[in-house]
Amino acid sequence: MIRRTLLTLVLTLATVAQAAPPSLPEIDRYRGLLHFLQVSETPQSMQPLFDAAESVQSAVMRIDDSGYAWLERVSDDDAVAIQAQLEGLRLHRGLDVYAELDTAVMHDLALQHGRPVDQAFFAGLKDAYNDQGLPVYLDLTNRASPCVRFDPPEVLIDQYAHWQTFAQAHPGAYGKFVGQWLSDIEDVMAQGTCTCTQEQAPVEAALHAFVAAFPKTLVRADIQARLQQLKNQPYEKPVWCR
């Protein structure tokens, strides 16, 4: 009887092991943190889950000697099973292979299980990306790389103001993301190029508006130099990126 029970257990475990989809340490960590968050009876910080999500995004895109990413190498059935375990992340396996954060789902998780700082962060994050999965100040046209939406300038200004205010209200919270987001916008303004139109005037208007809104910005001198260049030598560094 004991042998039969042991044999049944072994066979059951073997069946479960065969049925389980492939995984990665990063996926396992994300699943564990997600489960902890969902079963907790008190609000929890979601920053570890956010950081784990970024690790998953990198891990599933890791390329081996075959030249294919891990996400490309799993079967379609396994990909579906893995997706079911990753609430808050979306896996893409079409012409473009990647994993992205589902900002709407993460915001819902924050409202249900997170702290006020998490709710504020994911509310902002949900509004920070467009339907193309790009920052709202970028757009995809018929070119290979995204272009910058300098027109209207409020898109860039509102994003910078929001995350600057968040950083001041919640020092250190989601610091890597917030710092990078602000730095990216500063770089966009300092460069003043790759606009979504061929017109120079919207770029100049956006640069003036940004300096007026944030007179103490660290890239003020760079922006003013770019404005001077656009006035005196517009063809040296055109606003339109081909």
231: which residues sit within 8 A by CB, 6+ positions away?
A: none
Structure tokens at 228: 């001077």
Give the pLDDT of residue 190: 97
- Quick count: other Cβ atoms within 10 Å of Cβ 233? 9
Q: Where are the domains of the chain?
A: 1-115, 129-242
Nearest by Cα to 113 from 50, 171, 173: 50
Q: Give CA–CA dist 191/194, Å, rounded.
A: 9
Q: Is 83 exposed, middle or buried (0-12, 13-18, 19+ CB in 10 A)?
A: middle
**116 upstream amide cis, omega within 30 of 0:** no
Q: Which amino acid is at 195?
A: T
Give the pLDDT of residue 242: 66
Provide the pLDDT for residue 6.
Answer: 44
pLDDT less than 50: residues of the chain: 2, 5-18
Q: Which two tokens stand for residue 155?
A: 């898109």
The answer to whether 62 and 8 have CB atoms below 8 angstroms apart is no
CA distance 122 to 180: 16
